[in-house]
Structure 1
Amino acid sequence: MKVEEFSKKFSKTQPIIGFAIILALFFWGMQLNQTSAKLAFSLAAGVAIGYILTRTRFGFAGGIKRIYVRGEGSLTKALLLAFGVAAILYGAVQWHDAVHGGVPAYLAQEGDKIIHGTQNVYMTNIGTVVGAFIFGIGMIIAGGCASGTLADFGEGEGHAAFAFPFFVLATIPGHYLREVVDRNPIGNIGVRAYLPDYFGYFGAIIVTIVALMILYGFTQRYEKMRKEEGTYMDPLGDYEDFEKPLEDPLSGNPFGISLYHKMFVERWSFNTGAILLSAVSGAIIIFKGKAWGVTSAFTKIAVWFVGLFGIHFTDPAFNSINKTVEAGLLSDGGVILDIGIVCGSFIAFLLASRFKANYKFDSKNAFLFSLGGLFMGFGSRFAKGCNIGALYSSIPNFSLSGWIFMFFISLGAVAGLKIFAGGKSCLVPPRHRDKRDFK
């Protein structure tokens, strides 16, 4: 697209609203800072994550969907890059903590210094396996993972508006049943493995990087096979014209619309998204002492919501959640961060002047989006995390549970792609099988 063409189509109204929201968030952040610096930081980190996710079109569900449907692994390889960069950052932080007397969270006694991020070193049991598989199916039919649903919600995607409330509510039974499993003998069938216990911190980083490089190599080989079959689709094929670099950026005033397009409209690469997300997540683990998570905040929101109708939970599984609800949801950093993600995605679309509510689907698909939300809500809490808490914040924190979660979320996603393809869902295209599919 040329500068003149873009300039004619570009509306200034949405960017003005976007900058106004940024200003409002700044003042809210200042108010939060008076209560807690961590709350203000959570808002800033959430806005940054949402903006990055939308600006790069980065998504964890897409990392499986794209390579299965299109045969190209650009997003899959970017995800592996994100894990690798995060592993180096997290490893450095944890090594520092260990040298200064820190202990893993699952071994800590009262008064001990906890090694940052080890709260995500989970027990790998039936909950991890079943929860990951169910979550994988859900994210395919809902059109996005946990972080993706928040981003899509901010972008005005109707499928997220249907998936989100069911996602939130379904975390309650998922959370409760995982607690029940963990209290009983079946919950002890499994393993909790923290790689530095076996390889040391430097060794854990190397082992993680090597494993990711092996997966990267498999991805490249699979791409090559799909190219030879003629079922590979170019990764740039889904770029909108206005997202691409302008054809004549130096024409006219290069510091006017051309510069604005470069700064706020032109799409960033998946690899850029991977590095930036890892940088923000690294800041989170340093500043907050624990890794980025999404769905634990959903359970708190759900418990607060059902409480409005007189439904309360007295089981010990909900003790900490009830304390948060009593203190107020906006006193919780996880809730603030999730709000920030929605706002960041909303701002990204407004600044690009591309926000538009999208509800172009029928009642059958609305039901599938809602069903996907239910699956993700239950699966995420039954597995003790979603694509973020149980995957992105577990593998780089050297927990074996993250690798197990990766395997079974992938199986679930492929099952969802097979079951719901072929017109059964508007968000699940059939797998490309020959060149005619690309016309």
Structure 2
Amino acid sequence: MSATDTVTEPRTAPSPAEAPPARRGVVAIGVGLALVVGLAVLHEAGWKLASLYVVGLALGLVLFHSRFGFTSAWRQLVAVGQGRALRAHMLMLAAACVLFSVILGAGLGFSGATEGSVAPAGLGVLLGSFLFGIGMQVGGSCASGTLFAVGSGQTAILYTLGGFIAGSVFSAFLAPWISALQQTGPTVSFADTPLGYPGALLISLVIIGAVVGVSLLVERRRTPPPLSAPPTARGLLRVLRGSWPLWVGALALAGLNALTLLISGGPWGITSAFGLWGAKFLGWIGVDISGAPFWTDPENAAKLNASVLADKISVMDFGIMIGALIAAALAGAFVLHRRIPWRLAVGAVLGGIAMGIGARFAGGCNIGAYFSGIASFSLHGWLWGVTAIAGTYVGLLLRPLFGLGNPKPTDAVC
């Protein structure tokens, strides 16, 4: 990794002998903030959203400790043929598909009708995920990575988040064109077969197995550098101050997404909140964009007029950032970077803008479209993943322009 990547991407925790002491003051601030926000959500929106906020806290903890990456997984595969992180994706997706097949098939849930993330596999997904793939590599993180990196003190990612919000706000004015592009393809659910959800699960597991096989063939052909073993605490100390194995993160994320589905009636998503935050901020400073096509839709207008604490995605996003903050502080890894190279900052903003626009065209990000889409047995989730890898190729070519390095065949991949 280059020096700049140490700023933009969370790294693994040091060994116990080198581990810095917990940042007790930051831990106290994080816990206090978690309680205040949780009580505010409970007062504003009730127990269901408060429960989802707790799920968000858990997601932040898991994302930080497992360093579960989407951006780096695709970069490692494309740059040097290292597929271990991609195979962790497949474990996560397989576990989520099993859980979702039970929940959706039996109609389980606490919020009435339970629905997966099924959307058209059209030009919107192709264009949006391609832009998102480029933005991930230039901006230094994906949607989930942006939230937990900001929470864990990665100051450079604030630029990425700002660009993400700006791109999402701009997309509100493109809503008619976005909707038209999204409807150009068929809506395909693997569950719409005579075998229903059992058949959908079988189809998904076959595809997952094929992806694992291809990743192993790529590794055999390209002989990538070995993954460096991250130093970590041992025993019970590893839970709070160590680096978790990727497989633990994969299974935990699958379980938490299924829990989100059970509680809210829909799976995990992230990026729709960014446009809401941007619109509300602009309104706060006197710029009214409620007339933008996206916000004239009655459902969206109701969200704009309501509190962000009543919005499912916003509440979970807040939880992720605060959960990561607490986890990083307990691990002694919360460090604010005060000097950000200007080229890196420009790349972060531009990458965020590309992801903000791309997520809207694709109907979701690496979580809402890729993770939750595949777990919901929607073809568009697989299309999103494949096209994002194509965008990764372009993103890797652009990274050096912003002072970012790429893995080399002789480097150990972390």
Deviation sequence 1:176-235 (CA, Å, 0-9, x none): 4244342x4x554311111111241100000001100100011111112222xxxx2222
Match of 2:374, SS state, is coil
Worse overlay, 383-392 or 299-308: 299-308
Instruction: Establish whether residue 164 from structure 1 lines up as the match of residue 174 from structure 2.
Output: no
* Partners of 2:178 and 2:360 within 8 A in 1: no
Partner residue, 2:9: none
Match of 1:282, SS state, is helix
Partner residue, 2:281: 305
Match of 1:196, SS state, is coil
Partner residue, 2:268: 292
Q: Which runs of 5+ in 1 are unaligned?
A: 101-111, 247-257
Partner residue, 1:33: 42
| Distance in 1, Cα, partners of 2:371 & 2:15 | 39
Superposition deviation, residue 17 in structure 1: 3.3
| Distance in 1, Cα, partners of 2:183 & 2:288 | 31
Superposition deviation, residue 116 in structure 1: 2.5
Partner residue, 2:401: 424
- Alpha-carbon spacing, 1:31–1:166, altered in 2? closer, same or farther (3 Å): closer
Superposition deviation, residue 125 in structure 1: 1.7
| Distance in 2, Cα, partners of 1:135 & 1:428 | 19
Instruction: Establish whether residue 414 from structure 1 lines up as the match of residue 413 from structure 2.
Output: no
Match of 1:369, SS state, is helix
Query: Residue type of the partner of 1:329?
Result: V
| Distance in 1, Cα, partners of 2:243 & 2:153 | 18
Superposition deviation, residue 27 in structure 1: 5.2
Alpha carbon RMSD of aligned pairs, Å?
2.4
Partner residue, 1:103: none
Partner residue, 1:314: 291
Superposition deviation, residue 428 in structure 1: 3.5
* Partners of 2:125 and 2:383 within 8 A in 1: yes
Instruction: Establish whether residue 219 from structure 1 lines up as the match of residue 215 from structure 2.
Output: yes
TM-score (norm 2): 0.88
Query: Residue type of the partner of 1:391?
Result: Y
Partner residue, 2:204: 208
Match of 1:136 among 117, 133, 136: 133
Match of 2:401, SS state, is coil
Superposition deviation, residue 150 in structure 1: 0.7
Partner residue, 1:107: none
Superposition deviation, residue 323 in structure 1: 1.6
- Written as runs of structure 1 = structure 2, the 5 A alignment for 1:158-197 is 158-182=155-179, 184=180, 187-197=182-192
* Partners of 1:178 and 1:383 within 8 A in 2: no
* Partners of 2:164 and 2:354 within 8 A in 1: yes
Partner residue, 1:21: 30
Q: Which runs of 5+ in 2 are unaligned?
A: 1-13
- Written as runs of structure 1 = structure 2, the 5 A alignment for 1:254-403 is 259=236, 261-308=237-284, 309-315=286-292, 317-318=294-295, 319=297, 320-403=299-382
| Distance in 2, Cα, partners of 1:21 & 1:381 | 31
What is the percentage of aligned positions where both structures have the same residue? Answer: 26
- Alpha-carbon spacing, 1:432–1:378, altered in 2? closer, same or farther (3 Å): same
* Partners of 1:47 and 1:340 within 8 A in 2: yes
Instruction: Establish whether residue 44 from structure 1 lines up as the match of residue 54 from structure 2.
Output: yes
| Distance in 2, Cα, partners of 1:349 & 1:438 | 24
Partner residue, 1:116: 115
Match of 2:364, SS state, is coil
| Distance in 2, Cα, partners of 1:2 & 1:114 | 47
Superposition deviation, residue 262 in structure 1: 2.4
How many residue pairs are counted as aligned between the two chains?
394
- Alpha-carbon spacing, 1:175–1:79, altered in 2? closer, same or farther (3 Å): farther
Superposition deviation, residue 340 in structure 1: 0.8
Match of 1:197, SS state, is coil
Deviation sequence 1:295-331 (CA, Å, 0-9, x none): 0111111111122222223255313333223221122
| Distance in 1, Cα, partners of 2:263 & 2:15 | 43
Partner residue, 1:64: 74
Superposition deviation, residue 19 in structure 1: 4.8
* Partners of 1:264 and 1:351 within 8 A in 2: yes
| Distance in 1, Cα, partners of 2:201 & 2:239 | 34
- Alpha-carbon spacing, 1:175–1:316, altered in 2? closer, same or farther (3 Å): closer
Query: Residue type of the partner of 2:190?
Result: L
Query: Residue type of the partner of 2:398?
Result: F
| Distance in 2, Cα, partners of 1:20 & 1:367 | 31
Worse overlay, 286-295 or 42-51: 42-51
| Distance in 2, Cα, partners of 1:41 & 1:123 | 30
Match of 1:393, SS state, is helix
Deviation sequence 1:100-131 (CA, Å, 0-9, x none): 9xxxxxxxxxxx964432xx211222111101
